[in-house]
């Protein structure tokens, strides 16, 4: 792994107003440091956490995906965030991993937030997305997934030469996590870092949504030992830093806890309709 430069864009989201949200995010993108490898936006960054996909969902050929491709190419950065996506008669809360060359990876949110009725409007995903950049392996997840540690748990293994090899090095959560449960957000982010001995990055929004739910932000970067390297305040903020690969290696070498972890398998549910 080589050092990895990242930027977090914590912002207010205009309710169900993709044009306004894209305009303000473009302003934040203008401040990106040169050579930023990875730029991370919140969950549903064009609409806020809306249960109205019939009115606002786009296809993978739609304006938002095209905009992400354009900006990733212009800024020479990988752009990450989730949006409403329609495929056939189904809707997904889909995290997009958009490369400067136009390639797109995708992860559909597995755990839908039934408390807000998300499960009534969207289809859950069944597969994790672990991708890579600069030698880092990155596990991408969305908001409520944070409450389910098995879904993010390292599935450690040994390679052909007998070397121990954890599954990933960075765990990313994009979110619309409400302020009244902020302590759970901050506590669970640290827990995921400690138990998986990986960097954890949580990118949340600020401000009130269309249902009156307040969001405090608290976007964070946490190291593999659970130490908080940065916590954003409750305001719009673009935070940039560089992740140190040696810290991952040193943590895992000094405290080889993952070697003692239980082996397990996640059985996929049948979500077909």
Catalytic residue chosen out of the listed positions 16, 75, 118, 143: 143
User: At CA 82, angle to CA 65 and CA 8, rounded to 5?
Assistant: 105
- Can 58 be counted among the known catalytic residues? no
Q: What's the pLDDT tens digit per position in 208-229?
A: 999 999 999 999 999 999 999 9
Question: Does the predicted TM-score (pTM) go above 0.85?
Answer: yes
Q: In CATH, what is the architecture of 4-260?
A: 4-Layer Sandwich (3.60)
Domain boundaries, the chain: 4-260
- Can 16 be counted among the known catalytic residues? no
pLDDT score, position 160 = 76
Confidence band (pLDDT; 50, 70, 90) for 271? very low
Confidence band (pLDDT; 50, 70, 90) for 174? very high
Q: Mean pLDDT throughout 55-80? A: 98
pLDDT at 70 over 80: yes
Residues forming beta bridges with residue 9, ordered by sequence position: 238
CA–CA separation, 219 and 176 (whole Å): 10
Give the mean pLDDT of the chain: 95
Cβ burial 89-115 (10 Å sphere, 16+ → b, else e)? eebbbbbbbbbeeeeebbbbbbbbbee
- Can 232 be counted among the known catalytic residues? no
Catalytic residue chosen out of the listed positions 16, 43, 58, 118: 43
Q: How far is CA 142 from CA 27, 152, 210, 269, in A?
A: 24, 11, 20, 19
* Encoded tokens for 86: 């329609």
Q: What's the pLDDT tens digit per position in 34-51?
A: 999 999 999 999 999 999
Residues forming beta bridges with residue 242, ordered by sequence position: 5
Confidence band (pLDDT; 50, 70, 90) for 267? confident
Catalytic residue chosen out of the listed positions 109, 118, 186, 232: 109
pLDDT score, position 159 = 73
């Amino acid at each position: 792994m080589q050092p990895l430069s990242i930027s977090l864009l914590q912002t207010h989201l205009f309710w169900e107003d993709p044009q306004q949200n894209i305009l303000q995010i473009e302003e934040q993108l203008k401040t990106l440091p040169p050579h930023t490898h990875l730029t991370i936006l919140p969950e549903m960054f064009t609409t806020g956490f809306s249960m109205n996909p019939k009115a606002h969902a786009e296809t993978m050929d739609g304006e938002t995906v095209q905009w992400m491709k354009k900006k990733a190419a212009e800024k020479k950065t990988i752009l990450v965030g989730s949006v409403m996506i329609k495929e056939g008669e189904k809707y997904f809360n889909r995290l997009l991993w958009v490369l400067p060359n136009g390639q797109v990876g995708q992860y559909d949110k597995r755990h839908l937030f039934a408390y807000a009725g998300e499960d009534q409007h969207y289809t859950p995903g069944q597969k994790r997305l672990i991708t890579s950049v600069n030698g880092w392996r990155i596990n991408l997840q969305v908001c409520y997934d944070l409450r389910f540690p098995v879904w993010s748990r390292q599935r450690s293994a040994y390679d052909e030469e007998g070397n121990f090899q954890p599954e990933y090095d960075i765990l990313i959560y994009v979110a619309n996590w409400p302020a009244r449960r902020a302590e759970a957000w901050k506590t669970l982010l640290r827990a995921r870092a400690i138990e998986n001995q990986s960097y954890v990055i949580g990118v949340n929004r600020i401000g009130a949504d269309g249902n009156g739910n307040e969001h405090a932000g608290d976007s964070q970067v946490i190291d593999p030992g659970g130490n908080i390297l940065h916590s954003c305040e409750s305001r719009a903020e673009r935070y940039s830093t560089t992740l140190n690969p040696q810290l991952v290696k040193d943590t895992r070498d000094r405290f080889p806890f993952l070697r003692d972890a239980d082996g397990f398998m996640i059985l996929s549910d049948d979500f077909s309709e």
